[in-house]
Structure 1
Amino acid sequence: MFHSPLLLVFPFFLLVCFLLYWAGARHAFLRRPAVQDGDPRAFDWHVFVPCRDEEAVIGTTVARLRADHPDAHVWVVDDDSDDATGTIVAALAESDRRVHLVRRHRPDARQGKGAALNAAYDELTEFLAEGTDRERVVVCVVDADGRLAPDALRRVSGPHGFGDPETGGVQVGVRMRNAEDPRPLPDRGRAANAFARLLVRMQDMEFSVSNAGMQLLRARTGSVGLGGNGQFTRLAALDRIAAAERRPWQRGALLEDYELGLHMVLGGDRTAHIADTWVSQEGLPHARRFLTQRTRWAQGNLQCVRYAPRIVSSRHYSGKGVLETLYTFLQPVAHIATLVLCAVMFTLLALDAVRDGFGAAFGGMLALWPLVLVLGLVSVLPFVLWGPVYRRERADDRSPLVGVLWGLALWLYAYHLFPASARGFVRMLRGRNGWAKTRRNAEAVTSGPTAIES
């Protein structure tokens, strides 16, 4: 039946890599050290909020940031919105000198999130007094619907964060604040809302424990990735990237946040992850919006593969850091290869069945059912074991059985990576790199594409 040993060796290799990475992430999460607070008064804080058509959420976001972090400046970048985003922020800026509106207009506007953040960086540079110690200035990027934990500045000021002068960037944990919403889709029926609740819950579980574990593992390998929400960077580190790359955030990058972290480590700055504080955002209850978001992430990951030679040859990446980063880069590639392998295997099975009959073609597989069962358990168990951890961290009022069921659901949820990776790869081959923003949950659903431009 098996026409090449590679059909057996390759899946085993991927499974072993996955299990090793999972074990490291789980251990790093469960054994993470306590985070010591620092003194946020030792730094000047500036929050960048890139916006395009965000009138549904921007007023609330700015008000929350100013209430929870009164000493921070908030820079809202209006990327030529068609709605009232700019008007709302302009009114807030008139009554609050720590709220700043950065207006962008076409044709310079709408060139991606990275370009919007670069505009805020330029405005901040003009705003700061001559002679400002830029090592003491910290920039935080928050999504237009983001809410930063009240203790976040204290946590990232400590010795695990900017209290270490070698730290150039810090990523905090991410949560979905609508994980407990009983009706994420108020205009839909019971079944649709049940699916939407589970989808949002899985996103919260993914970020709160699974992704946090990966980031804490990366802290041990020196390869922590920065995210687009809850990303803290020392202004002097941004300056060093701008001197080497012409701008801090790269134009046209679909993962401008992760790419920034790569540049930071390549430049010799340390990146850190602090899981014990957070930024919250809205989980996506719409399957289509969710899939288009993850397609963009997969495509952006594939774009970052071009950095592999620089990372391998960099003196700032340890051997473990190189391995971890390459593993992250190649995840979408592994998903695509797995899909191709499955297609090849099923094709060969069909050909064998036509030639030798059904019994001869599938008899060998049936004889291997104990091995298939063991491999299935080994593949599912890592996801299931995240369930009780998530329940303890985020929902300790739920029963232990619910935690196990959430773990099983996480295993099924993980299969979205396969179509997302395939779609991202096809888009990249077709040269389709333009993206519109993902609509907020408060925005009306209209026909047509949700998040993709040609």
Structure 2
Amino acid sequence: MLEVSISLSFFLGLVFLAYVVILVRGFLKAEPERPGDPDSLDWHFLIPCREEQAVIGSTLEYLESTFPQAHLWVIDDASTDRTGEIVADRAERNAHVHLVARRLPEARKGKGAALNAGYREISRYVGEGGPRARTVVVVVDADGRPSANMLELCAGPDAFADGSVGAVQVEVRMINRDVERPLPAKGPLANRFAAMLARMQDVEFRGPISAMQIIRRRTGTVNMGGNGQMNRLTALDSIAGETGEPWGNALLEDFELGLRLMLAGWRTAYSRCSWVDQEALWNLNPLVVQRTRWAQGSMQCFRYLPRVWGSPCFTTAGFLEILYFMLRPWVQVVGSIVYAIPLAVFVFDAAAYRDFMEGFLLNGGLLLMAAYLVLGVGEFAIWGWFYRTRCEPGLSRRSAVHLGLAVAAYSLLNYVIAWRAFGRFATGRGSWKKTRRNSELTEPQPSVAGAVAE
């Protein structure tokens, strides 16, 4: 068992190291996207909402002022607060704002179901014929703040100006990454932890996740995200079927949508030079809940792998990239075991056979362990440096080192998340649980009686 664990952990370590090298190389050589004419396309924003009264008003105000030519479709998924009331009020004042009100029992069946309802409304609004070919559906979270250049870059030759591109994902950034005291009612330690957690999420999305998407440009397998996702309406039509449901029921509905589009022959693209800002979470519990849903959704999408393998739409590199993404939560479950066994044996031997262990350490064992530690931490810590040089040049070198070490510690959370996702997957628990916003965790949220039909 020990030999198998050591061999497997060594193999997994080499695979991950090779992947990191590929990511870094692509990240450093990424070219900026070329702009196009946003007026050549019709833009329709889909904003799924459930208890979003804290943010939806300001989000609509931002979108109306930044993208006045776009239509804004808010899907109120049976909210019990003032979300629907706020949207209805703005819709009365702006014909480009539309409220799609969902009621129980049809409502609250997950984000994919809400997006499908919005797709059907847009489909009816646009009608048949020519306008569908120039219509782009943009998915933005209720707290999303797309960059002002997003439509210009996504209308360019690297995106929707290419008729083979069916979907584009933009980079995700954390709008509250610089907040120094996110929890005013709590002490300095809690605030430092919350601020670092928000920064870690920004490093994660603008560092390794962005690097993965850049590599996926070459393999033709760019993943769609839940925020800043853009889809050609005719591409959605091609996978919607008779039920009018392009989004599936997986907990990772964005990744599933991208897979279905690629299986239908559409290309997917990524924009790093345009982005969408969203709120980072300041508390660990909602972050774990959110990431558990993502990991479980990836496990659910494993059923698509035979279709990807047999599809002529994927290259070998594309298949391997998707395989790696789908296997990640499973490998993390296995890895937590195979990494733990040698460590447990070492600790036991150090206690039971002190003389032997001292000889081992003095005769090269200590150097070997130091090399493993430096390599294991360094694979993650390098993103602190790249984040400073490529994303936030105002940070000091010391901050870059601290962030890098924090990234290495933050990565350990993936093993906890993988086990939680595996437990839910194995026991058949597949309910979609909304991530609670920071304001919901720190302030009481009033509700409106009778907002949801019984």
> Normalising to structure 2: TM-score of the pair?
0.93
Match in the other structure for 1:119? 117
What residue identity is the alignment partner of 1:420? I
Match in the other structure for 1:197? 195
Which residue of 380, 385, 390 corresponds with 1:383? 380
In structure 2, do the counterparts of structure 1 residues 131 and 322 end up closer, same or farther at CA, with 3 Å as the change threshold? Answer: same
Contact 1:349 1:362 in 2 (8 A): no
Deviation per CA, 1:331-379: give whole Å up to 9, x if none: 111111012224444565677789x745557865775222222122122
Which residue of 420, 424, 432 corresponds with 2:429? 432
- Structure 1 residue 245, shift from structure 2 partner: 8.5
In structure 2, do the counterparts of structure 1 residues 397 and 357 end up closer, same or farther at CA, with 3 Å as the change threshold? Answer: closer
Give 5+ residue unaligned stretches, structure 2.
Answer: 445-454
Match in the other structure for 2:213? 215
User: Secondary structure, in 3 states, of the residue corresponding to 2:166?
Assistant: strand
Aligned length: 443
In structure 2, do the counterparts of structure 1 residues 129 and 240 end up closer, same or farther at CA, with 3 Å as the change threshold? Answer: closer
Pair 1:142-2:140 in alignment: yes
Deviation per CA, 1:46-74: give whole Å up to 9, x if none: 00000000000000111111110000000
- Structure 1 residue 388, shift from structure 2 partner: 2.1
Match in the other structure for 1:9? 7
Give the Cα–Cα distance (whole angstroms) in 1 for the partners of residues 225 and 383 of structure 2: 22
Pair 1:69-2:67 in alignment: yes
Q: For structure 1, which segment, 87-96 or 125-134, has the greater mean C-alpha deviation from structure 2 after superposition?
A: 125-134
In structure 2, do the counterparts of structure 1 residues 300 and 342 end up closer, same or farther at CA, with 3 Å as the change threshold? Answer: same
What residue identity is the alignment partner of 2:415? F
The residue correspondences of 1:218-297 to structure 2 (distance < 5 A) are 218-243=216-241, 247-251=245-249, 253-297=250-294
> Normalising to structure 1: TM-score of the pair?
0.93
What residue identity is the alignment partner of 1:256? E
Deviation per CA, 1:48-104: give whole Å up to 9, x if none: 000000000000111111110000000000000000100110111011000000010
What residue identity is the alignment partner of 1:167? V
The residue correspondences of 1:78-97 to structure 2 (distance < 5 A) are 78-97=76-95
Match in the other structure for 2:447? none
Using the aligned pairs only, state the percent identity: 43
Give the Cα–Cα distance (whole angstroms) in 2 for the partners of residues 446 and 427 of structure 1: 30
User: Secondary structure, in 3 states, of the residue corresponding to 1:395?
Assistant: coil
Contact 2:6 2:342 in 1 (8 A): no
- Structure 1 residue 180, shift from structure 2 partner: 0.5
Give the Cα–Cα distance (whole angstroms) in 2 for the partners of residues 304 and 25 of structure 1: 23
Q: Which has the higher contact order (CA 8 A, sep 6+)?
A: 2
Match in the other structure for 2:402? 405
Contact 1:49 1:76 in 2 (8 A): yes
Match in the other structure for 2:440? 443
Which residue of 400, 415, 440 corresponds with 2:412? 415
The residue correspondences of 1:27-42 to structure 2 (distance < 5 A) are 27-42=25-40
Give the Cα–Cα distance (whole angstroms) in 1 for the partners of residues 389 and 337 of structure 2: 38
Q: For structure 1, which segment, 187-196 or 25-34, has the greater mean C-alpha deviation from structure 2 after superposition?
A: 25-34
User: Secondary structure, in 3 states, of the residue corresponding to 1:233?
Assistant: strand
User: Secondary structure, in 3 states, of the residue corresponding to 2:99?
Assistant: strand
Pair 1:337-2:356 in alignment: no
User: Secondary structure, in 3 states, of the residue corresponding to 2:439?
Assistant: coil
Give the Cα–Cα distance (whole angstroms) in 1 for the partners of residues 19 and 212 of structure 2: 8
